[in-house]
């Protein structure tokens, strides 16, 4: 798919050859121009070779810039080292048109290809679900696309459609039926992930993009898409706002600027494994839309393990079940509606715990405290919470994850970040030895049947977090400080389907010059690792460029940044490449640096 850099010289050499033919014809008519012709041809070649910069991995002359096809670049221009245009890259499954919205083929993209629809665009965030995608452009507006969004019956233009504007969105979280958006001011909004479900209901006032008195219609700014703002039952404190959100398959977690942790039931299955952190909550009574009152339903979602403790026992000793549902009050409630539960609740057991970060796996939850400890709860049948070899497949109470086993007693440990996806969990640990040496370890726990644990095995259960040797404990020498410094595994993205992307920051000692090696491993059935193959990889591997170089995620000063309407937003903005793992696919996009 890639062409050698030499092909970029072909047009210039053809022009020189044409000039030479013309001169030869003139020579036959006038021999006195021989010396002049030789000077012209040789001089032209010398000028080109000495004045034209030629990189050994220059761009192919056959680059396609169509939004419906993935074009390919090579070498440095694949990394945007010598380009004035920002190129975003995609690879893996495109069955639901989440990578190339107008793509015609369902075949996987085997190696990184340029997404023409993101040409020159930098985003605030990008999220890829199984059948739909969403992003936030430079202006803070939300766009959605994919077969799950448009529906199969709409064969027309399927390019990203703007669905929320004027809210200054900075972060997105996707579930199957709902999209959650966090604004810079700390507000949480929810939209449907299906275009038809976003249509305003008859008799419902048009949501305005401005304040509560709704004068947006004067300026043509009324919204045409239905959305709901998620709010806590009790107002937040003075100056307090939501600063981060994380969504699992059926639940949402959020933290405030004061370290308080909240949970939101996305649907009826939000607490099947205790991942919500509480059981009882209130939802609006669907009948209240008819009676126009503010009635609520009191709901209790009991985890499966408590509802039926003998569900995995032999039928010979199995006790009769009390029923499959703890509360039939939800039987007639549509939990796919964005109005199912517009209230977010503080997790009672975490009150008084100062939390710095939350993370959500498919059916599990994590909270990292400000002092570097981690609490986990929810599904644990693959050991994804990291509590060790425990027989419990459900943890209903936040429990501390011990991350310093098998470490010398004099070594101080602190968790810097926790990331989860599907049934895999990653912990970035800072280790400080008794002599002051600092190293960083990446630990993984959970379902590694596709090699996602990175330890060269295909184990389907790992309860004790295991150290990924290839990306742990790495050091580099800093010429400025004259000491060894750790190479940081950061920007970890774990796919719900089992592959992992990690950026290894080795450019600290060079003052940001250079970049971050992109490491990939895990499931590869749809070429989501970008190596052109379809076999899973159980150990971290670098993603290589076609000429054999390392693929580096870099940070640059963009000449200009466009929004998704193709209009220039700002010039001279600092942007960085960010990798994201989706359902059987991957993308590297340009993110506005903060």
Query: pLDDT for 312-344, tens place per residue?
Result: 666 665 555 444 444 567 878 899 999 999 999
Question: SS3 of 9, please?
Answer: helix
Q: What is the C-alpha to C-alpha distance for residues 380 and 272, in angstroms, rounded to an integer? A: 12
pLDDT at 315: 61
**Residue closest to 192 by CA, chosen among 248, 151, 231, 158:** 151
Please state, rounded to an integer, the average pLDDT across all residues of the chain: 82
pLDDT at 494: 98
pLDDT tier, 134 (very low <50, low <70, confident <90, very high otherwise): very high
Question: SS3 of 78, please?
Answer: helix
Contact between residue 97 and residue 128 where contact means Cβ atoms under 8 Å apart = no
Contact between residue 275 and residue 248 where contact means Cβ atoms under 8 Å apart = yes
Mean pLDDT calculated for residue range 505-522: 75
Q: What is the C-alpha to C-alpha distance for residues 357 and 367, in angstroms, rounded to an integer? A: 6
Query: pLDDT for 423-478, tens place per residue?
Result: 999 999 999 988 888 999 999 999 999 999 999 999 999 999 999 999 999 988 88
**Residue closest to 108 by CA, chosen among 519, 451, 584, 579:** 584
More confident residue, 219 or 516: 516
Question: SS3 of 149, please?
Answer: helix
Phi/psi of residue 278, each to 5°? -155, 165
Q: What is the C-alpha to C-alpha distance for residues 497 and 494, in angstroms, rounded to an integer? A: 8
Mean pLDDT calculated for residue range 399-421: 93
Q: Which two tokens stand for residue 43?
A: 């001089």
Phi/psi of residue 530, each to 5°? 75, 15
Q: Where are the domains of the chain?
A: 5-51
**CA angle at 281 for the pair 398 and 331, rounded to the nearest 5°:** 115
pLDDT at 70: 52
pLDDT tier, 418 (very low <50, low <70, confident <90, very high otherwise): very high
- Beta partners for 375? 367, 400
Phi/psi of residue 580, each to 5°? -135, 135
Q: What is the C-alpha to C-alpha distance for residues 141 and 165, in angstroms, rounded to an integer? A: 5
Contact between residue 86 and residue 539 where contact means Cβ atoms under 8 Å apart = no
Q: What is the C-alpha to C-alpha distance for residues 357 and 374, in angstroms, rounded to an integer? A: 9
Q: What is the C-alpha to C-alpha distance for residues 129 and 406, in angstroms, rounded to an integer? A: 37
Mean pLDDT calculated for residue range 491-515: 81
Q: What single DSSP character describes residue 6?
A: G
Across 32-46, 210-224, 270-284, least confident range: 32-46
pLDDT at 32: 42
Q: What is the C-alpha to C-alpha distance for residues 105 and 421, in angstroms, rounded to an integer? A: 28
Query: pLDDT for 28-39, tens place per residue?
Result: 444 443 333 333
More confident residue, 7 or 572: 572
Q: What single DSSP character describes residue 17?
A: H
Proportion of the chain above pLDDT 70, given as a percent: 76
């Amino acid at each position: 798919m890639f062409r050698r850099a030499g092909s970029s010289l072909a047009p210039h050499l053809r022009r020189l050859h044409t000039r030479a033919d013309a001169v030869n014809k003139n020579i036959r008519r006038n021999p006195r121009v021989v010396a002049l012709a030789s000077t012209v041809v040789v001089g032209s070649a010398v000028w080109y070779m000495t004045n034209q910069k030629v990189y050994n991995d220059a761009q192919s002359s056959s680059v396609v810039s169509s939004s419906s096809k993935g074009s390919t670049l090579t070498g440095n221009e694949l990394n945007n080292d010598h380009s004035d245009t920002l190129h975003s890259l995609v690879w893996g499954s495109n069955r639901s048109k989440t990578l190339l919205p107008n793509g015609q083929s369902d075949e996987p993209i085997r190696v990184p290809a340029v997404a023409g629809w993101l040409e020159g665009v930098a985003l605030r965030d990008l999220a890829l679900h199984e059948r739909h995608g969403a992003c936030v452009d430079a202006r803070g507006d939300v766009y959605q696309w994919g077969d799950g969004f448009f529906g199969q019956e709409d064969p027309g233009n399927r390019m990203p459609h703007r669905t929320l504007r004027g809210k200054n969105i900075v972060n997105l979280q996707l579930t199957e039926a709902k999209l959650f958006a966090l604004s810079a001011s700390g507000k949480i909004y929810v939209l449907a992930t299906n275009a038809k479900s976003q249509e305003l209901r008859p008799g419902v006032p048009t949501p305005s993009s401005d304040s509560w008195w709704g004068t947006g219609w004067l300026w043509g700014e009324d919204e045409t898409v239905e959305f709901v703002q998620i709010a806590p039952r009790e107002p937040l404190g003075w100056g307090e706002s939501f600063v981060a959100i994380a969504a699992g398959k059926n639940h949402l977690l959020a933290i405030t600027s004061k370290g308080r942790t909240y949970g939101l039931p996305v649907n009826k299955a939000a607490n099947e494994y205790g991942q919500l952190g509480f059981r009882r909550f209130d939802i609006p009574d669907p009948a209240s839309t008819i009676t126009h009152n503010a009635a609520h339903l009191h709901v209790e979602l009991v985890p499966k393990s408590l509802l039926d403790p003998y569900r995995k026992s032999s039928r010979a000793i199995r006790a009769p079940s009390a029923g499959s549902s703890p509360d039939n009050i939800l039987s007639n409630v549509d939990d796919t509606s964005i109005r199912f539960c517009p209230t977010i609740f503080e997790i009672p057991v975490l009150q008084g715990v100062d939390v710095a970060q939350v993370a959500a796996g498919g059916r599990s939850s994590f909270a990292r405290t400000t002092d570097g400890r981690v609490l986990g709860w929810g599904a644990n049948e693959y050991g994804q919470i990291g509590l060790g070899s425990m027989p419990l497949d459900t943890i209903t109470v936040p429990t501390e994850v011990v991350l310093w086993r098998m470490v010398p007693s004099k070594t101080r440990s602190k968790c810097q970040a926790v990331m989860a996806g599907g049934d895999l969990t990653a912990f970035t640990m800072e280790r400080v030895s008794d002599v002051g040496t600092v190293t960083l370890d990446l630990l993984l726990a959970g379902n590694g049947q596709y090699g996602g644990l990175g330890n060269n095995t295909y184990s389907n259960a790992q309860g004790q977090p295991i150290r990924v040797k290839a990306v742990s404990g790495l050091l580099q020498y800093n010429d400025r400080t004259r000491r060894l410094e750790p190479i940081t595994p950061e920007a970890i993205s774990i796919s719900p389907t089992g592959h992992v992307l990690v950026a290894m920051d080795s450019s600290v000692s060079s003052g940001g010059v250079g970049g971050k090696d992109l490491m990939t491993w895990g499931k590869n059935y749809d070429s989501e690792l970008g190596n052109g193959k379809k076999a899973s990889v159980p150990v971290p591997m670098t993603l290589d460029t076609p000429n054999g170089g390392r693929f580096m995620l870099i940070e640059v000063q963009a000449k200009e940044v466009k929004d998704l309407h193709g209009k220039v937003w700002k010039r001279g903005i600092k942007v960085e490449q960010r990798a994201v793992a989706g359902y059987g696919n991957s993308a590297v996009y340009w993110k506005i640096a903060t």
